[in-house]
Amino acid sequence: MSIFPTEQKIWWNEPVEKTEVLWVALAFVWAMIMFFMMPYWHFAGEQNLSNEAYKTTQEAFADKTEAFADKYTVREDAASGIPIVAPPAGSDIYMLGRLWEWWPILELEQDKSYRLHLSSLDYMHGWSLLPENINLQIIPEYEMVLTITPTSSGEFSVICNEFCGIGHHTMVGKIFVK
């Protein structure tokens, strides 16, 4: 038994108990099941986002986002003054994180696909779409791109779920789906 010290100090020459072999074999089989379930659930379960990431600079991403906002702004949010952008369906849309806001506010159409580009201009932020429970880490100098198709209408909140400083709790954005 392994509770008591062995008579011989060279423990690797001791025979292994059958129950120990059984537990190691069960753990190995379970690990293999979980290992092969990960790619299966990625494709069959549709629970992971298939996204892309590209190296960029903060200035280049800010320029693309501002050009996007200038081109498709329909109005400004009364409370914050942040532009509300309504791009055509199927287009590339941009949202950037910076202390302490997600900019701009997006207005999308239900059941239409968009390529959403996300990046940060300062620190690492978490991009969490509520109540859909989609979570991404947004890192400066990387442009995350994912294809989204809103399936329900309403107002969705975008929050930062990575602590980014003293104003972290105020870092909230919006996506409207009509």
CB 79 within 8 A of CB 174: no
CATH number for the domain formed by residue range(s) 51-177 = 2.60.40.420
Question: What are the residue ranges spanned by the domains of the chain?
Answer: 1-48, 51-177
Model pLDDT, residue 39: 83
- This prediction's pTM: 0.74
- Write 71-76 long-range contacts (CB < 8 A, 24+): 73/104, 74/107
Query: CA–CA separation, 89 vs 109, rounded Å?
Result: 7
- The token pair at 29 is 């089989």
**Per-residue model confidence as pLDDT tens for the chain (178 residues):** 557 766 667 767 778 889 999 999 999 999 999 999 888 887 777 666 667 899 999 999 999 999 999 999 999 999 889 999 999 999 999 999 998 999 999 999 999 999 999 999 999 999 999 888 788 999 999 999 999 999 999 999 999 999 988 999 999 999 999 9
Model pLDDT, residue 72: 96
Model pLDDT, residue 2: 59
